[in-house]
Amino acid sequence: MLNKRKIGDLEVSAIGLGCMGMSEFYGETNEAESLQTLQFAYEHGVNFFDTADIYGFGANERLLGKALRPIRDKVMIATKCGILRDPNNPEYRGLDARPEYVRRSLEKSLQRLNTDYVDLYYLHRVDPKVPIEETVSAMSELVAEGKVRYIGLSEASVRTIRKANAIHPITAIQTEYSITTREVEENGVLDLTKELNIGFVAYSPLGRALLTSQFAKPAVVNDFRQNLPRFSGENLEKNLKQLEKLKEFAADKKVSLVQLALAWLLAQGEYIVPIPGTKRIKYLQENIAAAQIELTQNELQELNQLVNETNFAGGRYADAIINDHNLNG
């Protein structure tokens, strides 16, 4: 069974489950298979499930509502608000963090999740048009009303996090973090979460599958990743070569690169919880097993050196996406 970790005052499994891909973005979806995967996750110690109102235009929240309702008091559900989408134009993205929108979004999420409360409610992206103090004040009211237990921010800057935490304790910061994406080590966010006793939830901890067997060799990308610079043909080929020494290290350790990547993240701090996403039980088993891997100090020192030597080509997002999503929050 999985060990537990504390993110703020919330106790969750050391590895959570990102559920987005069960409803959208990563190829075909299969509800029956996803329901089996969610059940397997719970039976094997995962109690932390991550979703958002925009995943599948609400379908992902409905999926979790169906799967987790019988065990609602035994699991932690995290969902998000603040990004706008248009079913008639799936590529469109907007932002809205007005207090009235936050409240309205939560009510809809509660209905889809078939629950009276969510354990962790994130602002999905910071809206530059709305002072963060106003948004967090509205979220704080939802906590007082018992509809939300704890609140968090996703992809927020140090300055924004400090402002938000001064209004209401922030329990978690969710940001992309992996061997392939380490900006949070450089921009102060990781250090700040440790300083303020805020949990850090690492999404895409496997580099959007770059660290999985899916990319054992250069492949054609046919989903949303085809628009990400890191997965363009020439960059992808370069990036796969960057992984060779890490693969050798994993083989010597008798673990997969996936497991090594998750073990490395877990070793960066007890307040860090990765939430790898998967639709399939076999990959979930591999992810869960990573929590049992122990890295000695010498191994971690050698691994950190290898990680520092990697230099991945292409950004994690195209510049247009960064601007549209306000990823610099």
- Single out the catalytic residue among 42, 55, 150, 283: 55
Residue identified by tokens 């996403």 is 277
Structure confidence at residue 215 (pLDDT): 62
Q: Could you tell me the residue range of the domain that residue 109 belongs to?
A: 4-206+264-293
Task: Say if 303 falls within a structural domain.
Answer: no
Task: Say if 298 falls within a structural domain.
Answer: no
Structure confidence at residue 229 (pLDDT): 73
Q: What is the pLDDT of residues 50-109, one digit of tens each?
A: 999 999 999 999 999 999 999 999 999 999 999 999 988 888 899 999 999 999 999 999
Displacement of CA 60 from its chain's centroid (Å): 14
Task: Say if 249 falls within a structural domain.
Answer: no
Task: Say if 130 falls within a structural domain.
Answer: yes
- Range list of H helices, the chain: 31-43, 59-68, 99-113, 132-144, 158-167, 183-186, 189-195, 233-242, 244-253, 257-266, 281-289, 297-309, 319-325
* Confidence tier at 217 by pLDDT (50, 70, 90): low
Both tokens of 58, joined, read: 């609400």
Task: Say if 323 falls within a structural domain.
Answer: no
Q: Active site includes 42? A: no
Could you give the CA distance from residue 140 to residue 137 in angstroms, rounded to a whole number?
5
Q: What is the pLDDT of residues 144-199, one digit of tens each?
A: 999 999 999 999 999 999 999 999 999 999 999 999 999 999 999 999 999 999 99
Task: Say if 149 falls within a structural domain.
Answer: yes
Of 172, 142, 145, the C-alpha closest to 12 is: 172
Task: Say if 164 falls within a structural domain.
Answer: yes
Sheet holding 17-18, edge to edge: 17-18, 48-50, 76-81, 118-123, 148-154, 172-176, 199-203, 272-274
Structure confidence at residue 154 (pLDDT): 97
Please count the structural domains in the chain. 1
298: left (phi over 0), alpha (psi -120 to 50) or beta: alpha
Cβ atoms 39, 70 nearer than 8 A: no
Task: Say if 287 falls within a structural domain.
Answer: yes
Phi, psi angle pair for 97, to nearest 5°? -120, 25
Both tokens of 227, joined, read: 């628009």
The number of beta carbons lying within 10 Å of the beta carbon of residue 91 is 9
Mean pLDDT confidence for 33-37: 97
Residue 129 is part of a domain; what is its CATH number? Answer: 3.20.20.100
Structure confidence at residue 318 (pLDDT): 58
pLDDT exceeds cutoff 70 at 218: no
Of 53, 261, 258, 22, the C-alpha closest to 154 is: 53
